[in-house]
């Protein structure tokens, strides 16, 4: 089934729900953009997703990446698609115009990313990493480094990778052992081995720019002794041409449950030449610039796959005749059965709220990076920090549930490979694991963000939501959201105070708390969409409020049982 | 990691929780068996699972079944393992001793099945279908047919298959089109094509006995026009020797998400000779004898895989050092982190309660098939009917969640194939789909069992549980269970009465209702285990009550929103 880019639903968010041009209206960098442009770009992105990316999604899964003596070959058609991706300018959407980027808002880019993830998740990951590397260098590299590397990363002619994990250092990066010794010429020589490196080696770009975490000789132990290095696959001469091969090589690739067309590499460094990015021992902080964007991107993977699964399940449910409907029709389309409606409505409940949260979070990231209003930047920074773990973990948990439900709608046909539904489940599963497991996200939310800020981040979140709520007409749903926000505040205060005397609490309730906060946030977003849609989304919104939001009852009770 | 057969946990259920020999004490067929025998059989089953089945589990997944011109080849080692399975008598556990069976209780057999599913789900399916075919023929075939087919099915020398689904008839078997024309010799000639036939063709048994649903020429339309036929792969001569090849052939096999070593076949019948089993047009009723046992068996698949996933995740969490524990130890074993404890405890909550429900349901099946006390048989029959859809759907939904959590404990290593965790998720996923999707199970529970009996089945369930509760010492958990049972009764009555005026309700709330009933049932079983364990299970039971059972709050509210 061909993917249908949900441009109308997306423009509904851009225009009616978030009034993006108005919302970002005082940001000079976006002054030249308007809604017509956004709509045109989304249309084009949809065509690219449907015409170029989707056709090689299943064949890519069947064929997978091949490894042979350090060389990684991507599946048939990937090279050509990547060339078209570069030529279409899809890598450069949000990048700095000073280095060739288009400088468009992240709030738009999340929608483009969703389409690409829907159509071909494996393909999308290569560019996602390159985008993160770009953002990192824009934020932390010196001007000469930017001049040298950014234009080709932004165009996509070169790709990027994040080299963090080692065999014994996954969630706990403080344990990593890769060493960087200073050379006389200001560069460093790196030794060590990294695992699970997405796009660490492949045949689609001329060069790969690795961003590698390693320890300097005088580094303190643990996470505060980690520095960040730029390590190119091929050296880059001063004139921009490619020089000799650097000492970083792919030792093997993983055989995985899914995302089989995305290369997941062991990267071995033997006298690999690298350059320090940012201050010594501050690598983890710098890397977080990239990681936060990657976390949102991986969240979007959950929504993209959830949307694709929904479209296929919805079409199948309209087409497949089976059983007697309540009105007596037999055989009736699956969609006429209440239990199938429940499944499809559940999928939409997650997809649409998640997409809205993506745009909302994207707009805060745009303010963080582009606003000149320091108070706005401060708020936006806190909101981004608060919402990022929620987006990463809940989009992907709900995405996995959504893909699984979509597969269920197909019955036995969902389990055989030819219908493609089982691939979505396999491709989605990794999103709950990489870029910080969803457990790590939950600990980030409750530990660093809630307790670490003594509730300050939550207050900012509540203030942002409440100041929007007062502009909305009164309704039963609005009352429900208000009550939930009060409940969230009280529950969070109890967590903070009880955790002070019992430090085991945050770990025990972290995941339930993240799910609880996410559902409360979704209730606000469903209300916001319902209001903006002026009646057109009432039924879907009602479904969310009565059938999905009710999960908060169990989550709250589960959390309270540990307090 | 080697599977550790949980014989002690199983014998705890057999002896301390359900006092099986006492419970089945008035059944003459089981008079010769005692707990020592049960323990010895479980020990041997554990050795077989570990020594013979587990070693070919991953290689079976990697290699899969191969199809070539009607011939299906199972992966390396399967033929030899099947031979050992037959020689060990593992096919004949519950079968009728008059035809070579061992006549052991189903309540024991569910535990053996669990071990085999843990060790090698694909392998286990072949025998599971043979067991269902055996049960069906024992119940519905005439004596000559039994003499001819049962001994070789019971030994496992021949295997069985269930041929129900057609391309346009999955959940809705009433749509099936396969035709059976009477021949002059009392046999029938079958024409048609079946899909998704587990074990429809393979190379491990000398003959395959297919039980096929088809329509007689004078059959009424819909489900009341379906008859059941026995169609052997090879004709069986009167002296028991094999005759010529029958006109039933495998046209292809499916390429699936998982259970890759289990052949899933398209079976084409062209003048295939078959014999009517049971009365004309009553095939669906007869088939349900087999389907109910298969449904329990497939439920057990969820528990078996959940147990295997738990064992591996638990071992990994004890071995893998990552992050700082609450007591300051760093790096500390994963299991010292509260969020990982939550994951492991969740897995155990589902596995142990599910296993207990399996034994409980097994004991009712034993009474149904073996008791001479008609009032006991009546109760047991109702309890089996009530609990079967719960076991099938909830064991597998919880099993999928459990396998997914187990994979999550492994982080990135859970996603790569070599650790084996992702195979459990893929192998478990089908259990929510086949043998009647879990949506169909939920409709069976709420439609046929709850509303169809006007609440009678539920009353029997409540009476069985309450009469056991009064024997238990008072406790907070006991009060909680009692309150939940009252809540369940009230909620169910409301569903019955509201459904009378709004026939859409059952479909809308079916799945939430099944999950709700399952959790209430699990609370009773956790209480029962807690009491029997005399303090040893208090912590685990408490975890279930405070962290898992709380899900009923959301489910109840979700159901009530539609009433």
Whether residue A415 contacts residue A406, with contact meaning beta carbons closer than 8 Å, is answered with no
- In angstroms, the CA B252 to CA B267 distance is 8
- Neighbour-count burial of A102, counting CB atoms closer than 10 A to its CB (0-12 exposed, 13-18 middle, 19+ buried): middle
For chain A, what's the residue count? 563
* pLDDT of B289 higher than 80: no
Domain boundaries, position A536: 440-563
Quick check: bond before B331 cis, omega within 30? yes
A375 burial via Cβ count (<10 Å: 0-12, 13-18, 19+): exposed
How many CB atoms neighbour CB B206 within 10 A?
A: 11
Q: For residues B233-260, b (16+ Cβ closer than 10 Å) or e, as one string? A: bbebeeeeeeeeebbbbbeebbebbbbb
Alpha-carbon distances, residue A108 vs A36, A362, A367, B439 (angstroms): 12, 8, 13, 38
Torsion, Cα of B433, B434, B436, B439 (10° steps): 0
Find the mean pLDDT for residues B537-547: 98
- Determine the Cα–Cα distance for residues A277 and A352; give it in Å rounded to an integer: 38
Nearest to B129, CA basis, from B263, B222, B31: B263
Rounded to 5 degrees, what angle do the CA atoms B183, B212, B261 make?
A: 140
- CA of A312, closest CA in chain B: separation in Å? 17
Residue B88 pLDDT grade (very low, low, confident, very high; cuts 50, 70, 90) = very high
Nearest CB partner across the interface for A511, out of B339, B439, B553? B339
Q: Which residues pair with A169 in a beta bridge?
A: A166
Number of domains in chain B: 1
CA distances from B431 to A150, A463, B46, B231, B372 (A): 50, 46, 22, 26, 34
Between CA B380 and CA B396 the distance in angstroms is 23
Structure tokens at B334: 């994963």
Q: Is residue B377 part of a domain?
A: no
Phi, psi angle pair for B210, to nearest 5°:
-90, 135
Q: B428 to each of B43, B390, B432, how far by Cα in Å?
A: 25, 17, 8
**What pLDDT digit, counting tens, does each position of B546-558 carry?**
999 999 999 999 9
**CB contact (8 A) between residue B337 and residue A437:** no
CB–CB of B546 and A558 under 8 A?
yes
* B127-145 confidence digits (pLDDT tens): 999 999 999 999 999 999 9
Residue A499's pLDDT is what? 98
Calpha distance B551→A552 (Å, rounded)? 9
> For residue A324, is it within any domain?
no
In chain A, the residue whose alpha carbon lies closest to the alpha carbon of B552 is: A554
DSSP string, A344-366: HHHHHHHHHHHHHHHHHHHHHHH
Round the average pLDDT of chain B to a whole number and report it: 97
Structure confidence at residue B291 as a pLDDT band (50, 70, 90): confident
User: Is the separation of the CB atoms in B284 and B436 below 8 Å?
Assistant: no
Beta-carbon contacts of A33 under 8 Å, excluding residues fewer than 6 positions away, are: A21, A104, A105
Instruction: Give the separation between CA B13 and CA B304, rounded to whole angstroms.
Output: 16
The list of chain A residues with pLDDT below 70 reads none
Q: How many Cβ atoms are within 10 Å of A366's Cβ, its own excluded? A: 25
pLDDT for B105 beyond 90: yes
CA distance B12 to B529: 9
Tokens of A423: 């691939």
* Chain A neighbors of B165, CB-CB under 8 A: 412
Chain A to chain B, count of Cβ pairs less than 8 Å apart? Answer: 196
Q: Do A340 and B504 touch (CB under 8 A)?
A: no
Residues of B in Cβ contact (< 8 Å) with A326: 503-504, 507
- Annotated catalytic residues of B are 435
Q: What share of chain A is helix, strand, coil (3-state, %, to 5)?
A: 60, 15, 25
Q: Per the CB < 8 Å rule, is B342 touching A165?
A: no
Beta bridge partners of A64: none
Residues belonging to chain B: 563
Residue B453, pLDDT score? 98
Residue A481 domain-assigned (yes or no):
yes
Q: Is B144 contained in some domain?
A: no
Residue B43 domain-assigned (yes or no): no
Partners of residue B548 in chain A, C-beta under 8 Å: 558
The catalytic position among A435, A456, A504, A562 is A435
Interchain proximity B408–A437, CB inside 8 Å = yes
Interface-testing mutation among A197, A508, A520, with chain B (most B C-beta atoms within 10 A): A508
Q: What does the block give as tokens for B26?
A: 């008035």
Answer for the pair A366, A21: CB distance below 8 angstroms, yes or no: no
β-pairing verdict for B264-277 and B248-253: antiparallel
Task: Give the C-alpha separation, A416 to B260, whole Å.
Answer: 10
Beta bridge partners of A213: A228
How high is the pLDDT of residue B292?
81
Whole-number pLDDT of residue A290? 74
Helix (H, G, I), strand (E, B) or coil at B99: helix
In this predicted model, what pLDDT tens digit does every residue of B298-311 receive, in sequence order? 999 999 999 999 99
* CA distance linking residue A143 with residue A512, whole number of Å: 44
CB A20 within 8 A of CB A35: yes
> Which residues on B lie below 8 Å from A544 (Cβ)?
none
**How far is the C-alpha of A100 from the C-alpha of A150, rounded, in Å?**
8
Q: Are strands A227-232 and A207-214 parallel, antiparallel or unpaired?
A: antiparallel
Residues of B in contact with A426 (CB under 8 A): 257, 426
Residue B290 pLDDT greater than 90, yes or no: no
pLDDT band for position B428 (50/70/90)? very high
Place of tokens 């709850």: B450
What phi and psi values does residue A336 have, to the nearest 5 degrees?
-80, -5
Exposed e or buried b per residue across A406-432, where buried means at least 16 C-beta atoms within 10 angstroms of its C-beta: bbbbbbbbbbbeebbbbbbbbbbbbbb
ipTM above 0.95, yes or no: yes
Counts of helices then strands in chain A (DSSP H, E): 18, 11
Q: Which residues contact A263 (CB under 8 A, 6 or more apart)?
A: A65, A72, A74, A198, A199, A200, A201, A202, A250, A253
Question: Which of A412, A554, A557 is nearest residue B196 as measured by Cβ atoms?
Answer: A412
Distances (CA, A) of A110 to A93, A362, A396, A526, B120: 10, 7, 15, 19, 42
**Cα(A505)–Cα(A495) distance, integer angstroms:** 8
Q: Do B442 and A339 touch (CB under 8 A)?
A: yes
**Residue B185: pLDDT band by 50, 70, 90 thresholds?**
very high
User: What's the N-to-C CA distance of chain B in angstroms?
Assistant: 49
User: Across the interface, do B171 and A404 touch by the CB < 8 Å criterion?
Assistant: no
Q: Is residue A502 part of a domain?
A: yes
% of residues, chain B, pLDDT over 90? 97
What torsion, rounded to 10 degrees, do the Cα atoms A53, A55, A61, A63 define? -110
pLDDT tens, position by position, B268-277: 999 999 999 9
What integer pLDDT is reported at residue A164 of this predicted model? 95
Separation of alpha carbons B280 and B284, rounded Å: 10
Structure tokens at A72: 């990684």
Q: Which of A342, A407, A423 to mutate to test the interface with B (most CBs of B within 10 A)?
A: A342
Closest by Cβ to A551, choosing from B342, B426, B554: B554
Q: Between the CA of residue A452 and those of A377, A386, A445, A495, B336, what are the distances in Å?
A: 20, 11, 9, 12, 22
CB contact under 8 A, B415 and A422: no
Nearest residue of B to residue A174 by CA position? Answer: B323
Helix/strand/coil for A269: strand
Pairing of strands A264-277, A188-198: antiparallel
3-state secondary structure of A239: coil
Per-residue confidence band for B288, with pLDDT thresholds at 50, 70 and 90: confident
Q: Which residue of A has its CA nearest to B509?
A: A339
User: How far is residue A261's CA from residue A75's CA, in Å, rounded to a whole number?
Assistant: 6
Mean pLDDT of the region B198-210? 98
Instruction: Report the DSSP pairing between strands A234-236 and A179-182.
Output: unpaired
Q: How far apart are CA B437 and CA B177, in angstroms?
A: 21
CB neighbour burial string for A296-325, b if at least 16 within 10 angstroms, e if fewer: bbbbbbbbbbbbbbbbbbbebbeebebbeb
Question: What is the reported pLDDT for A293?
Answer: 85
What chain B residue is nearest to A509 in terms of C-alpha separation? B339
Determine, for residues B326 and A555 on separate chains, whether the beta-carbon distance falls below 8 Å.
no
Residue B87: inside a domain: no
Give the number of other Cβ atoms within 10 Å of residue B51's Cβ.
Answer: 14
Asked whether residue A373 is assigned to any structural domain, the reply reads no
Return the number of other C-beta atoms located less than 10 Å from residue A4's C-beta: 15
Cβ-Cβ contacts under 8 Å, A550 against chain B: 553-555, 557-558, 561
* Residues paired with residue B236 on neighbouring β-strands, in sequence order: B242
């Amino acid at each position: 089934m061909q993917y249908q880019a949900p441009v109308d639903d997306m423009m509904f968010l851009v225009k009616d729900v978030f009034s993006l041009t108005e919302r970002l209206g005082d940001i000079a960098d976006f002054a030249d953009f308007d809604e017509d442009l956004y709509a045109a770009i989304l249309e084009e992105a949809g065509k690219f997703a449907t015409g170029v990316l989707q056709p090689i999604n299943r064949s890519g899964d069947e064929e997978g990446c091949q490894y042979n003596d350090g060389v990684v070959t991507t599946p048939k058609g990937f090279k050509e698609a990547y060339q078209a991706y570069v030529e279409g300018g899809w890598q450069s959407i949000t990048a700095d115009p000073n280095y060739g980027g288009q400088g468009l808002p992240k709030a738009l880019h999340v929608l483009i990313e969703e389409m690409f993830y829907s159509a071909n998740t494996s393909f999308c990951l290569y560019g996602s990493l390159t985008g993160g590397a770009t953002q990192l260098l824009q934020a932390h590299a010196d001007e000469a480094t930017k001049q040298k590397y950014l234009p080709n990363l932004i165009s996509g002619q070169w790709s990027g990778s994040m080299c963090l994990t080692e065999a014994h250092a996954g969630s706990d990066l403080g344990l990593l052992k890769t060493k960087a010794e200073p050379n006389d010429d200001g560069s460093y020589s790196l030794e060590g081995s990294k695992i699970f490196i997405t796009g660490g080696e492949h045949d689609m770009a001329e060069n790969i720019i690795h961003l590698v975490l390693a320890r300097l000789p005088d580094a303190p132990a643990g996470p505060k002794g980690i520095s960040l290095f730029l390590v190119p696959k091929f050296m880059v001469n001063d004139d921009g041409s490619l020089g000799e091969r650097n000492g970083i090589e792919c030792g093997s690739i993983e055989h995985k449950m899914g995302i089989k067309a995305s290369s997941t590499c062991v990267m071995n460094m033997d006298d690999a030449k690298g350059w320090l990015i940012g201050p010594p021992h501050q690598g983890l902080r710098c890397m977080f610039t990239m990681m936060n964007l990657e976390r949102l991107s991986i969240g979007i993977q959950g929504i993209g796959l959830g949307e694709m699964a929904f479209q296929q399940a919805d079409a199948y449910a309209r087409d497949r005749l089976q059983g007697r409907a309540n009105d007596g029709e037999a055989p009736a389309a699956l969609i006429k059965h209440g239990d199938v409606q429940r499944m499809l409505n559940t999928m939409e409940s997650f997809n649409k709220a998640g997409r809205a949260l993506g745009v909302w979070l994207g707009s805060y990231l745009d303010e963080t990076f582009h606003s000149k209003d320091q108070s706005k930047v401060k708020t936006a920074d806190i909101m981004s920090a608060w919402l990022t773990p929620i987006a990463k973990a809940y989009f992907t948990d709900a995405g996995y549930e959504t893909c699984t439900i979509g597969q269920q709608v197909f019955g036995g046909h969902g389990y055989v490979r030819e219908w493609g539904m089982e691939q979505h489940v396999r491709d989605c599963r990794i999103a709950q694991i990489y870029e910080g497991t969803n457990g790590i996200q939950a600990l980030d939310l409750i530990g660093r963000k809630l307790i670490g800020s003594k509730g300050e981040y939550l207050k900012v979140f509540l203030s942002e939501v409440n100041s929007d709520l007062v502009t909305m007409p009164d309704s039963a749903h609005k009352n429900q959201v208000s009550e939930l926000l009060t409940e969230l505040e009280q529950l969070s205060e109890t967590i903070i105070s009880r955790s002070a005397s019992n430090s085991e609490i945050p770990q025990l309730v972290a995941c339930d708390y993240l799910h609880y906060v996410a559902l409360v946030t979704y209730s606000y977003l469903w209300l916001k969409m319902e209001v903006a849609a002026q009646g057109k989304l009432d039924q879907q919104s009602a479904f969310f409020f009565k059938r999905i939001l009710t999960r908060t009852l169990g989550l709250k009770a589960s959390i309270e049982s540990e307090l």
